[in-house]
A = this chain, B = another copy of it.
Amino acid sequence: MAAATGHAVSTVSNALAGKRHVNEETRRQVKEAAERLGYRPSAVARSLRMKLSSTIGVLVPDVSNPAIPEFIRGIDDIAVREGCTILLCNTDELVERQVSQMQTLLDRQVDGMILISQHCDTPEVRKLLDGKTPFVLIQRRSSRFRDDYVGSDNLQGMRDSVTYLHGLGHRRIGLVTGPGTSSTAQERFEAFEATIADLGCDEDPDLIYRGDYTVEAGYDAMHYFATLSKRPTAVIASNDVCALGVQDAASELGLSIPQDLSLLGCDDIDLARLRRINLSTLHLPKREMGAAAAELLMRRIHSKRPPTPREIIIPTELVLRESCAAPADGGNAKRPAERRPLVSPG
């Protein structure tokens, strides 16, 4: 390319990048030649030289889990704006896979990484995180380290959920937890127990089902709950996908929602609003969360001195549709079976 124009390589570089002052006429010549030859600077060579690849790694459990893609989209929104491209990795919740993927990303000189619901306290993982490559955590944070983090307000969200069901008259509320390794799941679990106690609901360990974020978990949980002699009148699922599993099992068991069972999800996936699903749920603005994480990452990438870690806690919002109602027996049989009208918000 340099030869083709008769100019020096540096001149070409500068003409194209527009860094240094170069004669208008020269620039025109160079641009014209580049256009004609279909020349494009090699991003790889640039990365090697600059030690910056304009690339960010994104680790997720599994893209094909409906709970995930919105995060990615949010990240990408910011990434494209910044001229970055996403390197995507599925880890299937397997630490070894995660470690090897992170290793690969580091080898590729990614400018930074975003870990969505990934292990972040495993020593092996932490070792890789201790390097100089910036990273941001989403929905799963470390108990021992302070990192850039974007998560939902799990405490308030769960408190709202339980309080809402309590207000409807429920006293026996079942919970399907997320995986124990997830800080978000942990936080929600603790908030659940605390609120249950505060409100004087049944504190029955049988009402806790340890699950994860899959349809199967919800399905199995509901079948388990059905075996209880004192069944819950309401169930809070680990997320919407899980709630779908609960719904499914409930149908199978001949339990109507919300008449026989109230159900609350978390996430507000696009499908939750469908009349067939009609799931009351805790809305999480995932695309915004992804974007926020990417912004945090960019800040860290571009700043000279490492900024102090920032945690962004996104408020959640209870979206009321029609999967919840007063329990058939009025909750404790202490209140009339008065049916509350359910108003869905716009």
Known: A48-B48, A66-B66. A109 touches B40 (CB 8 A): no
Chain A positions 254-310 with a Cβ under 8 Å from a chain B Cβ? 270-271, 274-277, 287
Number of interface residues of A (CB under 8 A): 50
Instruction: Choose the segment among A2-10, A81-89, A184-192 that binds chain B (4+ C-beta atoms closer than 8 Å).
Output: A81-89
Chain B residue numbers with a CB within 8 Å of A275 are 247-248, 251-252
Chain B residue numbers with a CB within 8 Å of A175 are none
Chain B residue numbers with a CB within 8 Å of A89 are 76, 85-86
Chain A positions 32-80 with a Cβ under 8 Å from a chain B Cβ? 40-45, 47-48, 53, 55, 58, 62-64, 66, 68-70, 72-73, 76, 80
**When chains A and B are docked, how far (Å) is the Cα of A44 from the Cα of B62?**
26
**When chains A and B are docked, how far (Å) is the Cα of A41 from the Cα of B69?**
32
| Interface-centre pick from A44, A48, A90, A105 (highest chain B CB count, 10 A) | A44
**When chains A and B are docked, how far (Å) is the Cα of A41 from the Cα of B86?**
22
Measured between C-beta atoms, what is the minimum distance from A61 to chain B in Å?
11
Chain A positions 65-122 with a Cβ under 8 Å from a chain B Cβ? 66, 68-70, 72-73, 76, 80, 85-90, 101, 103-109
Chain B residue numbers with a CB within 8 Å of A73 are 62-64, 90
Chain B residue numbers with a CB within 8 Å of A80 are 90
Any chain B CB within 8 A of the CB of A215?
A: yes
Contact (Cβ within 8 A) A63 B53:
no
Contact (Cβ within 8 A) B107 A40:
yes
Measured between C-beta atoms, what is the minimum distance from A325 to chain B in Å?
17
Contact (Cβ within 8 A) A88 B90:
no
**When chains A and B are docked, how far (Å) is the Cα of A339 from the Cα of B44?**
65
Chain B residue numbers with a CB within 8 Å of A109 are 42-44
* A residues lining the B interface (CB < 8 Å): 40-45, 47-48, 53, 55, 58, 62-64, 66, 68-70, 72-73, 76, 80, 85-90, 101, 103-109, 215, 244, 247-248, 251-252, 270-271, 274-277, 287, 346
Contact (Cβ within 8 A) A287 B64:
yes
Contact (Cβ within 8 A) A244 B274:
yes
Contact (Cβ within 8 A) B76 A107:
no
Contact (Cβ within 8 A) B103 A40:
yes
Chain B residue numbers with a CB within 8 Å of A276 are 244, 247-248, 251, 276-277
**When chains A and B are docked, how far (Å) is the Cα of A41 from the Cα of B72?**
29
Measured between C-beta atoms, what is the minimum distance from A323 to chain B in Å?
11
Contact (Cβ within 8 A) B215 A244:
no
**When chains A and B are docked, how far (Å) is the Cα of A53 from the Cα of B274?**
43
| Interface-centre pick from A62, A64, A108 (highest chain B CB count, 10 A) | A64
Q: What are 22 pairs between A and B in contact, CB < 8 Å?
A: A40-B106, A42-B107, A42-B109, A43-B107, A43-B108, A43-B109, A44-B109, A63-B69, A64-B69, A66-B271, A85-B89, A85-B108, A86-B88, A86-B89, A215-B271, A244-B271, A244-B274, A248-B276, A251-B275, A271-B271, A276-B276, A277-B277
